[in-house]
Structure 1
Amino acid sequence: MGAREVGLPERAPAPGGTLPERVTIWEVGPRDGLQNESEIVPVEVKLEFLDRLARVGLPVLEATSFVHPKWVPQLADAEELLAGLHRRDGVRYPVLVPNERGLDRALAAGVAEIAVFASATETFAERNLNSGLDSQFAMFEPVVSRARAEGIAVRGYLSMCFGDPWEGAVPADQVARVGRRLLDLGCAQLSLGDTIGVATPGQVTAVLAALDAAGVGVEALAVHFHDTYGQALANTYAALRHGVSTVDSSAGGLGGCPYAESATGNLATEDLVWMLDGLGIEHGADLDALVATSTWMAERLGRPSPSRVVRALGG
């Protein structure tokens, strides 16, 4: 059954005119989605996954990561994948880099866009980055400055923005302070991560208000929600109402975080698209083709997709 066969309107008026007219979907399935798989996914499957997602109409596909293979063995094939990648016109293929060595590998592979991964909390910075909340910036500064000198745009991921499994709730002003430093360092965009999926819409509003107060324009922000407590769509809606127009999601709801055991899958791209369609917000993706792609990938992984929309439409 196709998406248009169940009575969903093509467009619906946005309530109060407060929502963006268009949202950029930042697809993280090929990187964040697959990095937490227990089995290594063959590079041929990853390449087909990326090409299928490109043909769906998604504008940004985060392709892989140059984290050391010891830490994320599922993405040890980054160079091979990028060498075999069929880049389609109009599609961006950023990659994640952890440090200068990762940047060296990314530059050698000819990437045009990278992302760095920072922490909003002390404990997660120590456990994930072997650094501290403030000292992590000494690691990022040469990566960002070198990338920008090469004409490469840099995104800054900020993890644990709403809750940390060791520290608990994270103060909104702390998130704003760390996020502002990433942007001041030269990151073009800041993605706010709910790494363990504990955020609620009220927290999202509070963090975005704190960033407003810190002088961070909403045009520089993206959101990245996990669905541990079933709040990812509600949190996304709260961000949209605030004016955020870039949303990270993962086809089929794949993913987690290899350094946070309580993290479950990302917001499913299909669930996001269904909501955006119902709100009349443009996004450019073909929902039926997206569902078919996630159904195909679920078959490759040997388990059903956790996305509710995939299950409803792909049966």
Structure 2
Amino acid sequence: MPTSTPRSSPPGGAGPRRLSFATQDPEAGIEVLEQVYAVRRIEIDRSTPFSMAQAVRGVEGLHLEQARLQGAPTGALVDATGIVRVGQVYDGGLAFTDHTRTIARRTPFLFPVRPYACRWDNLGLLTVSLDFSAIQAHAAELLGLDEFELHFTGGAPVSAPMAQYLARLITALGRDQLNSEAMSHSLIRQEIFRSTATAVLHTFPSTFLDQSSHPVDSDRVPGGVRRAITHMEEHLRDPLTLAGLATAARMSPRGLQAAFARQMGITPMAHLRSLRMQAAHAELLAADPLAGDTVAGIAARWGFAHQGRFAAEYKAAYGVSPRTTLDG
């Protein structure tokens, strides 16, 4: 039987809020998913048993959500345009079907800040959700601007150190801060939001990082990296070269290489290969071997011609072989 406590829609309102919910009823579970994650439509597999556990803790502008989903719902259309949501997958799999993005386990990632579709498989998920207008106002304050339009331009952290910092902060939120009696004080709640928002703004590519970069480079280098990444994402299946990426970025090849080294810590072609690996991972998660899907075929579609090298890189990124992901 489901058990729950009331919860406001994230993230408005005042004071700490909590929800604890568990059910084996798909319809009850779907109702909670709609409330917590702004789910608008869900695909349901009635042939498998369903269980769900959902917990939420929150303060003004910020919520921590932990979910365990097994069986029944397997995919969803989500419209969370007013929410900046950071996630960590700690079990199972989650794949975004628009632009075939996917998420590596335990690495913080940014959900799309727009309507999107996703699929999951026996998912364990931890997320932190922040009100978009509040984080945009905080970004404008940090930049010292009266008006500022915040746009996130990528879902992967800009560097491993920032990913680790944000992961530790999320752990502290769940373990200590949101459980503390100090949350009854409004100034402390505001400071918790500010510190979390600051970490998110510095972890993921956005117009905030473009604006806050060194003034000599702020108009050209970060924007060029962003344009190159956008071009990669829009043409993942197409043959791409460094010269072509530089043209799309409106930079020289050498300048693009240097900008990527500063902003991303890798080369443009290495980032492209990482995006294609993520896309292959997403397709493997959603694939059906009984329908004829193969590791070799999926790898080839994303430009990985050498199966052995692909398998080695895949295991290094995701901890399992591509065959294991496919067989699910």
Larger RCO, structure (CA 8 Å, separation 6 or more): 1
TM-score if structure 2 supplies the norm length? 0.29
Pair member with larger Rg: 2
The answer to which structure has the higher strand fraction is 2
